[in-house]
Chain A
């Protein structure tokens, strides 16, 4: 069965203690589609992305990923999910190459140092692979987050504030990543920057 990839978010509610951040969000995306989740600070954009990636439990509702006739929950679909976010932290005591080699190993990806260097080159970190992350600037750290997220060619890419801390070349990188993801899978972008709404086929506006 060659069913296209589908992401089904059904009635997802998010609460922090007594405070309800998100009430009953539902949508469905197919491979090739990009959704922009827009809203002010505190509207639940980042939390929604974390729920989609299986990093946070919703107060209500489900997130289901269907592919080739198989239904997977996010926690079962690690190899399909990629996540870039300001609260994604990698190992500061390791170098960029060591970080990528580690995440490749736990994901079961066979790759050489040259492969990882090529990936770093693609995100604009060519020649900086042997530097410890502790020595990276915020922009370089953000680029490495992209390398981490793209390492396994995820079919669902969740980008939270995708251009934050980026210069013009960094923004071009994000545009390139989103364009390539269209041929490959689903992209979900959480942003409060109106300029980034142009990336989406659909816009989900969250009110505070």
Chain B
């Protein structure tokens, strides 16, 4: 194991200018665009989350029928809980994909050697957000149609779905990077994510219930503020922690 270095000839040295680093946001945008292009060609995450979302809502609809038939005071909270559970479980099937794909296809080394960690994180986060917003749009539309849900305050419901999605993505993108190198990825993603997402879910469900019940914006402001605070806290923590997770 002892190395030996033997000189063969002397070489003249030369020096060239050091190239500059890519602007962070441009590099992040490039990662996002690459992931979108890859996803549109492979449709791995897209198919998984959409199939899960559709089958969950259809199963709910077939099992329970239109919930409006037996309208009662608890109905909005039940509907909100069902909606968020469907979104959460569908998200679990696809949101880890951005990092898992890099590890499984063994392209992570090329990416590590080319892009700054923060650019990778932001690009993947943006991709996950786009995927989740698509999932939320499809799930909510199907949910409203198939379960005949009457959203009394659709503006507030949309704001809460957006705020909840931002929080969900802020929390799960870092976890996706952590589990990408593990052997039991799927189970680990759900196990690590759930404790982090529990507070988000409680607040999002309560706020969404108010929106479905048709209460005014003042009933949802508190939930929106908590979700915004949650998103900022998780996003900041993830940004600081990502370097340690991503680097070998």
Contacts and interface: CB of A to CB of B under 8 A. Distances in A.
Interface of A: 2, 4-5, 20, 22-23, 25, 27, 30-35, 43, 50, 53-57, 67-68, 75, 78-81, 83, 87-94, 98, 102-103, 105-109, 148, 152-153, 155, 182-185, 200-208
Contacts of B63: none
B248 A203 contact: no
Contact of B19 (A34, A56, A152, A203): A152
A31 B107 contact: no
A5 B15 contact: yes
Given A57-B248, A148-B110, A107 B22 contact: yes
Given A108-B27, A203-B8, A55 B22 contact: no
Interface string B104-120: 01110111111110010
Contacts, number: 150
B102 to A, nearest CB: 9
Contacts of B13: 4-5, 30-33
B164 to A, nearest CB: 30
Q: Chain B: interface secondary structure?
A: loop
B191 interface: no
Given A92-B105, A106-B114, A107-B22, A202 B1 contact: no
Interface in B49-104: none
A33 B14 CA distance: 10
Contact of A201 (B8, B20, B33, B109): B8
Interface in B112-137: 112-116, 119
A33 B13 CA distance: 7
B195 interface: no
B239 interface: no
Nearest to A202: B5
Given A184-B16, A203-B6, 4 more contacts: A27-B5, A32-B12, A91-B105, A105-B30
Contacts of A31: 13-15
Given A67-B18, A89-B106, A94-B34, A55 B113 contact: yes
Contacts of A203: 4-6, 8
B17 to A, nearest CB: 9
Contacts of A5: 13, 15
A90 B18 contact: no
Contact of B115 (A2, A80, A106, A182): A106
26 contacts: A5-B13, A25-B3, A31-B13, A31-B14, A31-B15, A32-B12, A32-B14, A33-B13, A50-B109, A57-B248, A68-B18, A78-B115, A79-B21, A102-B30, A103-B110, A103-B114, A105-B22, A106-B30, A108-B20, A108-B27, A148-B110, A200-B8, A203-B4, A203-B8, A204-B4, A208-B1
Nearest to B16: A184
Nearest to A35: B5
Top 10 closest pairs, chain A to chain B, by CB: A108-B22, A105-B30, A106-B115, A89-B106, A32-B11, A32-B13, A31-B13, A93-B41, A4-B13, A106-B27
